[in-house]
Amino acid sequence: MIGWLDTILQGLMLGGLYALFATGLSLTFGVMRLVNIAHGDLSILAAYLALVIVQHFGVSPFLSLIAVVPLMAIIGYALQTFLLNDTLGDDILPPLLVTFGLSIVLQNGLMEVFSADSRGLSVGEVQTASLPLGGGIAVGVFPAITLAAAIVVLALMSWLFNSTSLGRALRATSDDQSTAQLMGIDNRRLYAVAMAIAMAVVAVAGVFLAIRTTFDPTSGPARLLYAFEAVIIGGLGSLWGTLAGGMVLGVAQTIGFALSPAWGIAVGHIAFLVVLLIRPNGLFPRTRDA
Amino acid sequence: MSLLEVNSLSAFYGDFQALFDVDFRAEAGRATAIIGANGAGKSTFLRAVAGFQSPPDEAIRFDGEAIGALKPSRVVGRGVALVPEGRRLFPSLSVEENLKIGGYCGRRGGWTLERVYGLFPVLQERRDAPATALSGGQQQMVAIGRALMGNPRLLMCDEISLGLAPIVIRDIYAALPAILSEGVALVIVEQDIGQALSVAEDVYCFQGGRVTLQGKASDLSRDAISAAYFGV
């Protein structure tokens, strides 16, 4: 019994990591209908950036976020301004193809620079430390930090979207970009800002992933898949739904792994399909839409 | 010099030409009506002035400056606002948020949230409701208020009476004199001739993408307007 409770707890915290991955994806799709196939690879790029900083300056990976987050935001802004904005239009195919190409370029570029070796980031004792919750149950300190980071990020995003002028502009553009331009919103610039925010969140996701597990240049696509699943399970356009989606996926995977190490990932996918069958719009679809 | 001067404006949707050499003037403090049947090019004309077409820069002059080539997001910053056909409110924003985003362009002037609520008191009661939960007439008020929040010098209204009950239309048109008294140039597109002529001093009639008649509302006979409207 305690074993299962422990498994579910692990899954919930893993869900925090998935939510971090999913948030950026959900944001870019929501605001500009851009499905970013290179999303996972960009998170791995962030992980390598952190690796370089950690190796050069000997700082903790957590501290490296101070540099990696703004760096990734700048990369996102530039990427949208100089490449992705030109792919957006009535046809959904160009952005898919271009980001698919970008994914390949990133994987091979990272392979060239860093080789195919698996890397990891270490945060020392925190990595293995655990907090006893009593009753024989303990949670890892690092997974708990990950979940806390996800909640903080989502709370910040929620505040940004609901309580700031920028957030209003993002929602309005998501609703109707043509009418948003009538309000004086420069949609191309706004898209660049949205991508910058998405990449800032992806930087956090990439670094936490790199601490949790090892990564190599080809680790991106699997991250993209989980991020997609978390977004769809949670319901498109719902921030906290994304966290719920990540948790459903995380719990399903850890239960799967507990049953048999070969089944972990598959059980996650099955949970995704089951949610799709029962609630095709996800658990918390945005309800304000007309 | 007129506030808005449009000279031989043409507009295209792909290979289809929707406007042919349209000349148009709108004056500060006056209402100008554009009437015409469906497909006459009225909405295309307003959207072109708002920046959604890319005519030569000189084709559209606003307050003496050429604005034809500006993007829509820049045109509104100059003081040109459009109340689009079908209202086009943002469904994920509340009534108040829809009004606030009208001020996104940052133009200063006399219009504030309080004054818009003063003009349309019913909106204040529903300020926190999703904009699309309102009745059609109330939604039209939000759309007009949203445009006013950008403190425009030229306000263009596209079919603001479409699909509304006569009594609601009367309420909305009752707000227009207050807007005009601020010195705003008002351009009203309507299919309903009587409604348009009730406020407008100048009239343009569009047919098949061309101006077929123009003049002072008081000088034009109903027969002349009908002839220009239907092209018979």
Contact B72/A181, CB-based, under 8 Å? yes
pLDDT score, position A288: 43
pTM for this prediction:
0.91
Chain B residues within 8 Å of chain A (Cβ atoms)? 50-52, 71-74, 76-77, 81-82, 84, 88, 90-93, 97, 100-102, 104-106, 130, 132, 146, 150
> Which of A124-128, B60-64, B171-175 has the weakest average pLDDT?
A124-128
pLDDT score, position B232: 63
* Position B68, amino acid: G
- Domain annotation covers residue A273: no
Number of DSSP helices (H) and strands (E) in chain B, helices first: 10, 10
- Show residues of chain A in contact with B106, CB under 8 Å: 184
CB A280 within 8 A of CB A33: no
- Show residues of chain A in contact with B72, CB under 8 Å: 181-182
pLDDT score, position A126: 84
Q: Which residue in the block uniquely carries the two structure tokens 């929501």?
A: A30
Contact B90/A176, CB-based, under 8 Å? yes
Distance from CA of B214 to the nearest CA of A (A): 28
Distance from CA of A85 to the nearest CA of B (A): 15
Q: How many pairs of residues across A and B have Cβ atoms under 8 Å apart?
A: 73
Contact B91/A289, CB-based, under 8 Å? yes
The minimal CB distance from B72 to the residues A165, A182, A289 is found for A182
Write out the DSSP string of A25-50: HHHHHHHH----TTHHHHHHHHHHHH
Query: Is the pLDDT assigned to residue B11 strictly greater than 80?
Result: yes
Residue B225 — very low, low, confident or very high, per pLDDT cuts 50/70/90?
confident
Query: Is the pLDDT assigned to residue B71 strictly greater than 80?
Result: yes
Instruction: Please tell me the total count of domains within chain A.
Output: 1
Q: Give the mean pLDDT of B197-217.
A: 92
Instruction: Look at residue B93 and give its three-state secondary structure.
Output: coil
Backbone angles phi, psi at B4, to 5 degrees: -115, 125
- The secondary element (H helix, E strand) that includes residue A137 is strand A137-140
Tokens standing for A95? 């952005």
Tokens standing for B165? 């009950």
Domain extent at residue A24 = 2-218
pLDDT score, position A1: 67
The minimal CB distance from A288 to the residues B81, B102, B130 is found for B130
List chain A pLDDT tens, one digit each, 290 residues. 678 888 899 999 999 999 999 999 999 998 998 999 999 999 999 999 999 999 999 999 999 999 999 999 999 999 999 999 999 988 889 999 999 999 999 999 999 999 999 999 988 888 888 888 877 788 889 999 999 999 999 999 999 999 999 999 999 999 999 999 999 999 999 999 999 999 999 999 999 999 999 999 999 999 999 999 999 999 887 888 999 999 999 999 999 999 998 888 999 999 999 999 999 888 887 654 43
Contact B97/A168, CB-based, under 8 Å? yes
CATH number at residue B124: 3.40.50.300
What CA–CA distances, in Å, run from A76 to A24, B37, B52, B120?
11, 47, 28, 43
pLDDT score, position B169: 92
pLDDT score, position A243: 94
- Domain annotation covers residue A172: yes
A106-115 long-range contacts, CB within 8 A, separation 24+: A106/A38, A106/A41, A106/A42, A106/A44, A106/A45, A106/A217, A106/A220, A107/A41, A107/A217, A107/A218, A107/A220, A108/A217, A110/A41, A110/A44, A110/A45, A110/A48, A110/A217, A111/A217, A111/A218, A113/A48, A114/A48, A114/A51, A114/A217
Contact A290/B91, CB-based, under 8 Å? yes
**Cα–Cα distance measured from residue A172 to residue B105, given in angstroms and rounded to the nearest whole number:** 14
Q: How many CB atoms lie within 10 A of CB B33?
A: 23
pLDDT score, position B38: 87
Number of DSSP helices (H) and strands (E) in chain A, helices first: 11, 2
Domain extent at residue B29 = 4-230
**Cα–Cα distance measured from residue A131 to residue A144, given in angstroms and rounded to the nearest whole number:** 9
- Show residues of chain A in contact with B132, CB under 8 Å: 290
Instruction: Please tell me the total count of domains within chain B.
Output: 1
pLDDT score, position B173: 92
Distance from CA of A286 to the nearest CA of B (A): 9
Arithmetic mean of pLDDT over chain B: 93
- Domain annotation covers residue A235: no
Q: Which residue in the block uniquely carries the two structure tokens 């970013």?
A: A36
pLDDT cut 70: percent of chain B above it: 100
- Domain annotation covers residue A264: no
Comparing alpha-carbon positions, the chain A residue that sits nearest to B74 is A184
Query: Is the pLDDT assigned to residue B192 strictly greater than 90?
Result: no
**Helical packing angle, A239-259 and A2-32, nearest 10°:** 140
pLDDT score, position A6: 87
Arithmetic mean of pLDDT over chain A: 92
- Domain annotation covers residue A288: no
Burial annotation A109-118 (CB, 10 A radius, 16+ → b, else e): ebeeeeeeee
Q: What does the DSSP 8-state code read for residue A255?
A: H
Comparing alpha-carbon positions, the chain B residue that sits nearest to A169 is B101
pLDDT score, position B155: 97
Residue B158 — very low, low, confident or very high, per pLDDT cuts 50/70/90?
very high
- Domain annotation covers residue A272: no
pLDDT score, position A289: 41
**Cα–Cα distance measured from residue A70 to residue B181, given in angstroms and rounded to the nearest whole number:** 49
- Domain annotation covers residue A104: yes
Burial of B219 (0-12, 13-18, 19+ CB in 10 A): exposed
**Cα–Cα distance measured from residue A255 to residue B162, given in angstroms and rounded to the nearest whole number:** 57
